[in-house]
Structures are given as C-alpha cells and as structure tokens.
Structure 1
Amino acid sequence: MLPLLYLLSLVGISYSLNGGRNVAFPESTNGQPFPWNQLRLPGSTIPIRYDLLIHPNLTSSVFTGTMKTEVTVTQETRAVVLHSKHLEITKAFIEQENGKGQADIKQLQVLEYLPHEQVAFLTTEPLQVDKNCFLSINYIANFSDGFRGLLASTHFEPTLARMAFPCFDEPSLKANCTIKIRRKEQHIVISNMPKVKTLKLGSNLFEDHFAETVKMSTYLMAFIISDFQSISGTTSSGIVVSVYANPEKLTQAYYALEVAVKILEFYEQYFGISYPLPKQDLVAVPDFQSGAMENWGLTTYRETSLLYDPETSSASDKLWVTMVTGHELAHQWFDNPVTMEWWNDIWLNEGFARYMEFISVDAIYPELQVNDYLLDTCFAAMGRDAMNLPRPISSRAENPTQIKEMFDTLSYDKGACILHMLRNFLTEEVFWNGIIHYLKKHSYKNAKNKDLWDSLANVICFVLHCSQYDYYLSEHFDVAKIMDTWTVQKGLPLIIVEQNWKRIKIRQEHFLKCIFPDDPQWPSMQMG
C-alpha cells in the first residue's frame, strides 16, 4: 500500500534490554514497549541467508509471503529486530539448537514500531550467542500503486525491500537469498539469478525457483512478473545478456543488447575482474519511477532509457540509452559487490557509476565524443555547488527521507568530477591500479571513503617504481587528507593571486556564485 505518515510520539517507558541498564523505549502499536529505540538495527543478530516465497495476485493487488531467515546471534538477546513496512505478520516461529542436538521451535510474539519501520520478534528465553537460528515468518500485504495491473516490478533502493519481506534492510547487512515466485501460466518471472526449475501447483498456478544469489544487500534484490518477451546475446566470457520489453516494442531493444554486451566485456577487461553472475537481464519497465536501477543481474529502466528505434529516435536518444546502460552496468562492479557502508557515502556508488559511463562509452563508441559531455557535467556541478548548497557529498543521513535526499546531483555529478580530478593528478595508471585494489579488497563487503583513499595511496609507489626518497614522500602523501576537503566539506575553493611588483600574495576562499565579500553573510560562508 502507499506509504502513510504516522505522527506518533516516543513514549518514555523504562525497559531493561538484555539485563542492561534501564533505557526509555518507544511504544509499539499494541501499547507494549518496543525493545529498540534506534533507527539502525541493533546488530545482535546478523543475516546469513533468506529463503523467500512470494505469491502475488495481480488482479487484487495483494500478495502473501513466506520467509525463512538464517541468522547468527552475536550477543545475547530476547528480541530479533528487523525492518518491515505495511506487512501484516500472520505467524512467526524461531528455531535454534538447544545444546542437546535437538532443535527448539518456538512461536514468537510480534511487536511493531511504525515510525522506524521496524518489527521485533520476542523470545521467552535468550538466544544462544554464536549459534545460528532460523526465523520463519508468514505475512500478507498490498502492492503499492506502482505495481498494479499486468506487471509487477520491484524497486527496493534505498529502503523499500522492507515492503516486500521482513528483512535486515541496511546496506552493510548482506546475505544470500533464494527466491521463489508463484505465477499464472501466461506470465513469466525473472529475478537476480537464473531460474532453476518450475513446479506446477494447479491448473493455472506455477512456482518458479531461482538459484541462490551471491551475498548482497537487500536493496539489490529484485523480481519482475510480466508478459514480456526478450532477445539475447552472449559475451565473449559466456555471460548471457537478455533485454526484455513489451512484445510490441521488442524490435527497439536490439541497440541496447549490442551496447550491454560490449560494455560488460569492456568492464571485465578494464577491471580485470570477471562478472560474477551467469546472466545479465535488462528490462524496459513502463512508467518506471526512476531512470534506471542496478539490481544485481536484473537492471531495470524506463522505456526511454533502454529502447531505441533507428527510424524515429534521435541521436540524443541513442546517446542517452548508451550512457544509462554504461552507468547501470558499472554498478555491477561499483555498488553490488563493493557497497558503501552506509548511505552517507552513496556517492561512492553513484559517483563511480556516473564516471565509468563516460570512460566505458568513450572507449567503445569514441565517435560519440562523450568527454565533451563530461566537461559540461563538471561545469554544471560546479555551478550548483557554488550556490551554497546545504551539504557536502558525504553527509549524515539516518531516516528514509534523509537517505532518499542523498540521491542528488552532488552524489552523481560532483562525485564523478572529483574522481576525474583524482584520476588526472594521480595519473591514469595509479588511479586504475588503486581502483582494482579497492574492488578486490572489499569484494562482497562494504567500504567507506577512507577505504578508497587508502587503496589509491597504497599503489602509488608500486605503480611509479619510486626511489627511496620518493617512497618516503608517498608515505606522507595523504590522499585522504586531500580528498576529504572535497567530500566531507561542502563547496568549492577559489584561489586568488595578487601581484604587487615582485611580491605575490595567494589566498583561498569559498567560491560562491551569488554572494560577494561586501554581503553580511560572507564571513560565515567562509567557515563552511
């Protein structure tokens, strides 16, 4: 169902969690104290894998779900806290070995706290530390308005996986997932991984089973139920690439297929890292809310971002399809395997993907002269940043509204441009080797700004064959210190050089487009 605004205040209830000190906890929907009072999950249980079954009814716009989650208990607790939004939990059980080689299965009490979009499953006895347990949940929910009709297409980024199934909906809480979807005979289902089998459950009811995913964040999981058709190709390394579209528009998908195959091959060669999945689907979704989405193995696009008709489309349309495809496929290296630790560093995902679309398209289609557009992008980003925008690229974001606001031109365009600057002053070879070091070191993990800067700093002398003196200098060449001024500090620097006969005076100011030194606001602006 559509998101609702709940105006509920925190109720000061004294509650002792895990035998610790008394802390004020909010009131859940049934009036009981909810056992957690933070926006981020407690970390006492960590997901390992999800086993998810969804049965959608596209006519009534209702779906039922069954989820079994394997979790590791990291600290003694009586509550497993997950994210859930607009899901009606009908039954919940937990199973954990009791130390006698037997499994205890216990029904759980369920509490909800709507303002934080969280649900807690309470146990009667503490869960054992360093042992896995299995949480089984049955639930029912409505599709949001965007999913009604003959098509169901998910889009979970940044914090909407919790509307499809109860989950640990934070980017650092990665897990494997096995997905099963029920459908009618006239529909097809595609998901992140290839389909491994189909069971016939009735005269017009089928259940598609998909291979287990790699370890990934919940916002990258996806499935689509439709009557689409597809065309396919294969990369030189054997990856099956398919483009899905409305049957009436399938002839407009051939250019995107050509681009996708070439760009995947380019990225594998450029990074020296194989694409880890056996297939890559690209889907043109009518009325898609975003421009595109990088779900791992199943990227989704607006029709205008993927379909190209040689007879009626313009040169600008062709460039747009090429660039968006390059962007989303770059995410299969930047974002999906190496994900930002938290949403404050979303620019690590989006800035890199934005920059790599220029690098990949320039290498494959030089006749498009996309480097001219990169300069336009950077000058436009500088112009916006000179308007005294309220935040730096990397800034605090905690609740879903703040997180969604991070997906802006700062994260995409300024992020791409400071990477372009970095590539030029470190040299192409250092930049390239540093990126490969970063991707390999943090694969299937999470990273933050400092991890990128460290990877770049670590390869400088390895690449440039430094002398002992140069090596000393590189040890004191602080990439993080330099780049933090561009990522955790807002705005742009303006260098002013004044010459008075033989003397030169140099000073630096915060460059502001519409505020001048005689403005009363000027001194305070120089502190940002």
Structure 2
Amino acid sequence: MRDQDRAPLADTADDYRLPKNVTPRRYDIRLTPDLKAFTFQGELNIAVVVNEATDDVVLNALELEIETVSAERGRKSLAAKAELEPAKERAHLRFAEKLSPGEWLLKIAFRGILNDKLHGFYRSRYQDASGKTHLAATTQFESTDARRAFPCWDEPELKASYKVTLVVDEQLTAISNGGQESERKLAGAKKEVVFKETIPMSTYLVAFIVGEFDATAPVDAGTPLRIVHVPGKESLTGWARQVGAFSLKYFADYYGLKYPGDKLDLIAIPDFASGAMENLGAITFRETALLADEKSASRAELERIADVVSHENAHMWFGDLVTMRWWNGIWLNEAFATFMEMLAVDAWKPEWRRWESFSVSRAAAMSTDGLRSTRPIEYTVRSPEDCRAMFDILTYEKGAAVLRMLEQFLGASVFRDGIRLYLKKHQFKNTETGDLWDALEAASREPVRKMMDSWIFQPGFPMIEAAPAADGRGLKLSQRRFFYLVEDNHQLWHVPVMVRVKTDQGGSTHKVILATGETTLDIPGKLEWALLNEGGHGFYRVHYAPALLAAITRNLGALQPIERFGLVSDTWAATVAGLGPLSEFLKMARLFTGETDINVWRALIGAFAYLDMIASDADRPAAVRQPR
C-alpha cells in the first residue's frame, strides 16, 4: 500500500490474536450490495480444518449482523449461535456440541453496511462532468478491515483461497481479484457475476468493486492488464497502462517467477484514503495516483504515477505471493515495494535518474530518524491500531534505503539471486523478516542477518567519522549514533561502508563492515582524498576531519551528483548538530557555484533557507542594506 501517528501498544497480543484451533482453507463468498440503501447481504461457505475439538469457533467480525450459522461434515449438520464481541472485533460461533478434528464446512448468512469511512466495504460518491452524483461500492481491507465485509480469520498468516460471487444491478460493473468466470441475468434487473478462484492469500488482499466503471482494452503484460475508470476518463489512462505493462514484465523477470494471478486490473477509485492498495489482481488507486493527461501533466505528476503503479505491481509477488506472518513485518512488504519501484522506474526512464532523486526521500527519513522520539523499523505489533501506525516514512523510505544499501554492498546480481531464492522457497506462504536475510545470506555468503538486525531492531542511524590514519596511508573510521542534540549513546551498527579513494598510486574502491566502535582501513599509497558512502546509497551520515573535507571539496568533479548531495546534506547535518562550525559549511558551499544538479541545489537551498529563517538583522552584512 502506498501512502499515521503511532498509537500506544495494547495490553497483550492475545487480546487480538485468534486461537488456532480452527483454521480456514477456502472461502466461497456471495455478496449482494444495495447502493441505494448502503447495505449488503452476504452468504459465506468456509472450508475449515478443526485442529482441536471445540464448541466455540472464534473469528473476526465487525459492524456485521450474523443471521444464521451451521457447520456441515458429510451428512452431519450442527447449528450454532453467533455472539459478537465488538471490543475485540470478534464473533464466537457457539455450537451445542464440539466439532471433532478434521475438515468442516461453515455456512454463515450475514448482513452489513456500506460505510462512509473509506475502509472495509464502503461507498464511494462522485460527480460526473454534468454534476450528476454517482455511487460505487469498493473495498480497502488493509490492515484489519476485511472483518467489516465478511466474517473471517482476519490475520495475514491464515491464508486461504477465495471464490467470489457478486450480485449487482445489471447496468453496473463488478470486479474482484480473479478473472470473470461467468455472468447470468437474474430476476429484478440483477445479474450474478462469478469470479475465478484465487491463489491462497491473506484476507487483507481480497477486493470487491461495484459501480459504473469502464475498462480499457487489455494489454499483454505477461497477463491481461486493464485500466478501470469511471466513464469519460479513458483519455487519462495511457501513462498508467505503459508503466503498468513495463513494470509487471520487469518484475516477472527480476523475481524469476511468473505473475501469480490470472489478470490484473488497475482501478481508479474516486474516494480512496490511501495512494493505492495491492489487492491481488485488482489493485485500487486514488484517481490522481493512476490517471493523468500526458500532454499537460507535470513531470512530478507522471513520476508519482510511475512510482505508485510500480510499487503496487511489485507487491504482487512481495506481499501477495509471499506474505509476512504478522503485522510487525509489514515494513518489509512496504520497504521492499518502495525499493523495487525505484528499480523498475529507473529501468523504464533512466533519464529521470530516479535513485538520485530518492536521495531527497532518504534525507527526509534521516531527519525523522535523527530525533530522540524515533522508533525502530520493526517493532512489536499487537492491536489493529499498531498495524495502522506502521505506515510512515520510517517503514517506506528508511526501509527502502536500508535495502538499497544492502543491495549495493552485496552486488545487484547477488542480491537478486537471494530474492529469487526467498520467493521460490516461500511462495503461497508466510514469513518472518529473518527468512529474507537467510536467503540473502545463502546467496552472498555474507553475514546478512547479523548486519541487518542491527538496522531493523534499533532506532536511529550512525554517523561515521573519518580521519587520516597517523601514517597518512589509511583511514581511521569510527561510529556513533547521530543526534541533532548530542548525547551519550553506545549503540553500534554493522555498517556496510563503501569507500572510494585517490592515492599517489591511483584510485581504488573498498568495502568494509564497521561492526565495532572504530577501525582503520588500510589503503595502499599516500592518501590524497577519500569519499565515504561511495555511490551515495548508505543510510548513515559522514563527518570528515577538516583535512579530509578540504581534500574532497577540492575534487568535487570526481563525485557523482548523488555523492555531492550526500556531502552537502551530511556536512549541513553535522553543522546543525554542533559537530562543525557554520563557517566550515559556508566555505564548502561557496565551491558549488557551478553546480547543475537539482537535488544538490535542493540540499543547498534547504540549508540557506534555514539560515535565512533564524538569522537576525544584526547577523546580516551591512553591505546589502539599502540606503534610506
């Protein structure tokens, strides 16, 4: 999902986790929405496995009325009474006798409301060009809102397949995760639309969309891909169709696995709370994240659509095919999709230099992560509120930046091999964060788990201080946690430091994992200048000793734009944190008068805008004052 303040942790995880004595295997869902009354009627058959004999089947349900419940096994049929527990968003199906272990079929009739909350199964309202109001019904289930649409085991680990049937007014379009299997007319100007059964997936990825929608002709993206929109907006679909087809093919090749669905619809919804949502086969988008007039849209608007479409397409494998076991792992879904969107868009439009502009996002994440109030990327998640709180800049931008740092350290092809190993081993299943590190470790033979645990499970990030070794032939490197307000802290990271140096013997690059407080990097030859964070992808700041800073600023032409951005950003951060005098930053900034990269200028202008804001009249040179 593309695009929430942290909530306090709940008492215990057991207050929200379901018992595992009964688990689902397959849902057969039949829904009849009423767009005039804002209600829906549902019939649900769930193939379950009773793992331990029980007379109390517990599942999730919220804002639903459960009318009848029974369980069938062969010729045996047992009725149950449903008791709702709204505080815990649960329903108890209480039977007169225990269900014995084995396979059973639960049959549930229920009803619900098409709410106006933009989550669950909700109503969407929009006006056409003539001012006429139209209504649609759509879904947004992540993190824990499938329970508002049908009784279910609404936890990501409890995967099942879904067979969906929608009964709608005959003039409306109905869409779900699978391709359409059949359609037939019913009495009362209704029609029944049946969709193909899905792969095993989590409840939060299920989708139903009903309304007046049109769809473009499908394009071949390895699977049929369409852009779905309200009538009159087909002219705005071309850009999304291009990037959608490119990125889906790109990911199938990168992951080494074919797309896991039977079709892919990219659906523009008039009322949508998030940027987009990665429902398998039926991705929903805010209209502005999918539709645009290529001739009049700005570069920023087109880039956002390319980013968001690629992000959601990446999820079809990483998140949908392989899913985190519990919501503490949602960071990996979102961080990895953000990382992959950059790869795909950079491959599609290399002239955009997308990884260089991502430096601005990385710096924004560092600004948040440099505060005492920051959090680790992964932390304990107990309640639904905790789930929603993870969708922030640390999950997306910091997470993606840390993955990019790892990819660059291991090498792009080795990193890809590890991803392929992970997806192939765990497809259709659920994982923990460590499962990915294990796959990357197997592919690279590097201590990936130990390295990455230091980045994922503790807050903040390090500043690497660099100084010439005493003999002038090496670099002394040390680390400590970066704070804007300096304080004692003994955190250590396994920092994959990338270094480029120039000596009297020529240039060379070096890799070192700085796992202790300090180390010395041996360098052949007499050091002329050194650049730490070579390539600009590390999630750490660099503070150079004065002699090293002077040497590197005399050689700005040897730096890539992304490296110059990092030099400005890091030196300014060190200045704000009181680690270097303002005069040192200003002296360096004067050397950038010939700079042509927009992102470097963003870093420079940001620093000077801050100075302009805090400088008093007395601090400003008298020479610029105008005579009276």
TM-score, normalisation: structure 2: 0.72
- In the alignment, which residue of structure 1 is the partner of 2:457? 488
CA contact (8 A) 2:162 2:199 kept: yes
Which 5+ residue runs of structure 2 have no aligned equivalent? 1-9, 126-134, 494-628
**2:243 is aligned with what amino acid?**
V
Counterparts of 1:245 and 1:451, CA distance in 2: 38
- In the alignment, which residue of structure 2 is the partner of 1:433? 417
- In the alignment, which residue of structure 2 is the partner of 1:281? 265
- In the alignment, which residue of structure 2 is the partner of 1:516? 486
Which 5+ residue runs of structure 1 have no aligned equivalent? 1-8, 11-35, 98-102, 461-473
- In the alignment, which residue of structure 2 is the partner of 1:331? 315
Of 12, 24, 29, which residue of structure 2 is paired with 1:52?
29
Give the 3-state SS of the residue equivalent to 1:454 in structure 2.
Answer: helix
1:383-437 residue CA offsets vs partner (Å, 9 max, x unmatched): 2111124421110111111110011111111110011010011111210100000
CA contact (8 A) 1:243 1:283 kept: yes
Counterparts of 1:160 and 1:367, CA distance in 2: 40
- In the alignment, which residue of structure 2 is the partner of 1:444? 428
- In the alignment, which residue of structure 1 is the partner of 2:624? none
The Cα of 1:498 is off from its aligned counterpart by 6.1
CA pair 368-110 structure 1, distance change in 2 beyond 3 A: same
The Cα of 1:115 is off from its aligned counterpart by 1.5
**1:485 is aligned with what amino acid?**
S
1:151-188 residue CA offsets vs partner (Å, 9 max, x unmatched): 11101011000000000000010000111111111101
The Cα of 1:323 is off from its aligned counterpart by 0.9
Give yes or no for the alignment of 1:116 onto 2:101.
Answer: no
**1:290 is aligned with what amino acid?**
S
The Cα of 1:37 is off from its aligned counterpart by 6.2
The Cα of 1:527 is off from its aligned counterpart by 9.5
Counterparts of 1:444 and 1:333, CA distance in 2: 10
CA contact (8 A) 2:454 2:492 kept: no
- In the alignment, which residue of structure 1 is the partner of 2:49? 72
Give the 3-state SS of the residue equivalent to 1:203 in structure 2.
Answer: coil
| Residue identity (%) | 37
Number of residue-to-residue matches in the alignment: 467
The Cα of 1:506 is off from its aligned counterpart by 5.4
Give yes or no for the alignment of 1:193 onto 2:163.
Answer: no
**2:348 is aligned with what amino acid?**
I
Counterparts of 1:434 and 1:111, CA distance in 2: 47
The Cα of 1:233 is off from its aligned counterpart by 3.1
Give yes or no for the alignment of 1:83 onto 2:51.
Answer: no
- In the alignment, which residue of structure 2 is the partner of 1:410? 394
Counterparts of 1:292 and 1:232, CA distance in 2: 22
Counterparts of 1:201 and 1:43, CA distance in 2: 40
1:327-375 residue CA offsets vs partner (Å, 9 max, x unmatched): 0100011100000111101111100100001100111111222111222
Counterparts of 2:439 and 2:253, CA distance in 1: 20
The Cα of 1:234 is off from its aligned counterpart by 2.5
Matches within 5 A, 1:365-376: 365-376=349-360
Q: Which structure is larger by alpha-carbon Rg, 1 or 2?
A: 2
CA contact (8 A) 2:79 2:96 kept: no
CA contact (8 A) 2:159 2:201 kept: yes
CA pair 402-67 structure 1, distance change in 2 beyond 3 A: same
- In the alignment, which residue of structure 1 is the partner of 2:114? 143
The Cα of 1:304 is off from its aligned counterpart by 0.7
- In the alignment, which residue of structure 2 is the partner of 1:107? 79
1:272-292 residue CA offsets vs partner (Å, 9 max, x unmatched): 210122210001111211000
CA contact (8 A) 2:138 2:210 kept: yes
Counterparts of 1:37 and 1:496, CA distance in 2: 45
Counterparts of 1:62 and 1:236, CA distance in 2: 36
CA contact (8 A) 2:332 2:399 kept: yes
Give the 3-state SS of the residue equivalent to 2:24 in structure 1.
Answer: strand
Give the 3-state SS of the residue equivalent to 1:392 in structure 2.
Answer: coil
CA contact (8 A) 1:81 1:119 kept: yes
The Cα of 1:38 is off from its aligned counterpart by 3.2
Give yes or no for the alignment of 1:455 onto 2:432.
Answer: no
Of 72, 76, 81, which residue of structure 2 is paired with 1:95?
72
Counterparts of 1:501 and 1:459, CA distance in 2: 38
Give the 3-state SS of the residue equivalent to 1:92 in structure 2.
Answer: strand
The Cα of 1:261 is off from its aligned counterpart by 1.0
- In the alignment, which residue of structure 1 is the partner of 2:302? 318
The Cα of 1:75 is off from its aligned counterpart by 1.6
The Cα of 1:259 is off from its aligned counterpart by 1.3
CA contact (8 A) 1:235 1:262 kept: no
Counterparts of 1:414 and 1:347, CA distance in 2: 10
**1:490 is aligned with what amino acid?**
P
Of 33, 36, 40, which residue of structure 1 is paired with 2:17?
40
Of 88, 113, 127, which residue of structure 1 is paired with 2:99?
127
Counterparts of 2:25 and 2:470, CA distance in 1: 69
Of 205, 227, 243, which residue of structure 2 is paired with 1:220?
205
Counterparts of 1:325 and 1:134, CA distance in 2: 38
1:24-77 residue CA offsets vs partner (Å, 9 max, x unmatched): xxxxxxxxxxxx963101000110000101111100101111111010111222
CA contact (8 A) 1:49 1:177 kept: yes
CA contact (8 A) 1:389 1:490 kept: no
Q: Please, which moves more after superposition, 337-346 or 378-387?
A: 378-387
Matches within 5 A, 1:466-477: 474=445, 477=446
TM-score, normalisation: structure 1: 0.85
The Cα of 1:225 is off from its aligned counterpart by 0.4
- In the alignment, which residue of structure 1 is the partner of 2:566? none
Counterparts of 2:43 and 2:153, CA distance in 1: 16
**2:100 is aligned with what amino acid?**
Q
Give the 3-state SS of the residue equivalent to 2:165 in structure 1.
Answer: strand
Give the 3-state SS of the residue equivalent to 1:346 in structure 2.
Answer: helix
The Cα of 1:141 is off from its aligned counterpart by 1.2
CA contact (8 A) 1:221 1:295 kept: yes
